[in-house]
Structure formats: structure tokens, C-alpha cells
Amino acid sequence: MKLYSYYRSSAAYRARIALNLKGLAYETAPVHLVKDGGHNRRPEFRAVNPQMRLPALVTSGGDVLIQSLAIIEYLDETQPTPPLLPKEPIARAHARALADIIACDIHPMNNIGPLRYLKNELHQEQSAIDAWYHHWVIAGFEAYEALVRPGPYSCGSDVTMADICLVPQVYNARRLKVPLDKFPKIVGIDAACLKLSAFDRARPENQPDAE
């Protein structure tokens, strides 16, 4: 399989964790999201993913999958062990809800494309953009912190899709200097996850395109 990725992309980071948890080998195809206004906007990547976003996964059968949650669910369906969602329906819905807080409610507000739009098209000051970023991470993390179950992971004793979404968001929050002292459960879950090799190998600094 081939994963179009950028070391700092949190959505690609999710896909990397899921591939590692499933024990699936893949080749990394780096796409620089910053240089020259973003290599993701080049025609050759647009031909892979018309949405021009990362990640994109080329399966062993040659299909191109996009959207990290769809990729993670595909991996879970085709390679059921270890499961990335609990079996019991209420617990499954809870894990998906936590993942959605990150992937649907926090991440879209602070993704590189929308932040660039605030700066370049709406001419916002960097300080206003930083305040926007911090606001949405903190609002989402407050909800997440209140909803997690006793650990070590977000939904208890097993890693789920929620953790796969949380760890990259915490990396991003730290990089953008969001204070995390109000979120001891989140910080603890992040530390527990990063002790696992699948998470550690997926870290931005461990990627072939890391700078």
C-alpha cells in the first residue's frame, strides 16, 4: 500500500497509526503541504485526490481511498484484528463520537487551508488566527476531557479510533502552544498511547519526510 502523507499532517498521522496498529506495511509518498503554497495543489496530486488533501491511501488492489476516518474504517473492516472500535453498539457510538469531536469539530477549524484563507483572503492578523486556533482546540478538548472513560485510553482498556484521532490533535496543540494543564486526562491518554510502538512509529519526527 502507498500512503500520501506529510509528516505534520494530523489526518495523515491518524492513518499512519491505524496502519501500524493493524501491522500493515506501506510506502510513504510525501506531499509537502507548505512549500510553494502546498504541493498538494499540484495537478499530479489533484489527479490522485480531487479534494487535494492528505491522506490518500492506495490499496494493494490499486484503489485510492481518501478521508482519514473512511481509511481507518476500511482498514478495520478488511483487517479486523486488533479492532479499532468496541463491539458493543453504545460503546462503539461513544468511541465514534469522541473521534468526531476531533476530526469533525476541532480539526476543520484549524487545518492549514482554512487558516491560510483567514490570513491571505480575509487578511486577519497572525495574533487573531492564533486566538481562533486556540479557541477551537480548547472548546473541543473541554468536551473530550469530560467524556473520556477511566483509562488508560479514551474508551477504557483498549485503543480505539478516538485515541487515533486524539494523539495527532495533541501534537498539533502542543506545536501551536495551546496550554494543556486543564486537560490531565487527555495528557495521560496521549502519554499512554505514545508508549505503544504503533503510535511512536507514526510520530511526525519519525517520518521519512520529517524536517
Ligand X SMILES: N[C@@H](CCC(=O)N[C@@H](CS)C(=O)NCC(=O)O)C(=O)O
Give whichever of 115 and 189 is closer to ligand X, judged by the CB atom. 115
Give whichever of 113 and 184 is closer to ligand X, judged by the CB atom. 113
C-alpha cell at 16: 499512519
| Whole-number Å distance between alpha carbons of 53 and 192 | 29
Sheet holding 27-30, edge to edge: 27-30, 2-5, 56-58, 64-66
Residue 209, SS3 per DSSP: coil
Residue whose CB is nearest to ligand X in the complex, by number: 113
Give whichever of 48 and 152 is closer to ligand X, judged by the CB atom. 48
| Long-range contacts formed by 42-48: CB under 8 A, 24+ apart | 45/4, 48/4
Give the shortest CB-202-to-ligand X separation in angstroms: 13
- Say if CB 102 and CB 46 are below 8 A apart: no
Give whichever of 50 and 89 is closer to ligand X, judged by the CB atom. 50
Residues that bind ligand X (CB under 6 A): 9-11, 33, 38, 40, 53-54, 67-69, 103, 111-113
CA angle 81/87/93 to nearest 5° reads 120
Give whichever of 79 and 111 is closer to ligand X, judged by the CB atom. 111
Give the shortest CB-22-to-ligand X separation in angstroms: 17
Longest distance between any two alpha carbons in the chain, whole Å? 48
Give whichever of 42 and 185 is closer to ligand X, judged by the CB atom. 42
Give the shortest CB-172-to-ligand X separation in angstroms: 8
Within the chain, strands assigned E span: 2-5, 27-30, 56-58, 64-66
| Whole-number Å distance between alpha carbons of 137 and 124 | 19
Give the shortest CB-69-to-ligand X separation in angstroms: 6
Give the shortest CB-17-to-ligand X separation in angstroms: 13
Give the shortest CB-120-to-ligand X separation in angstroms: 12
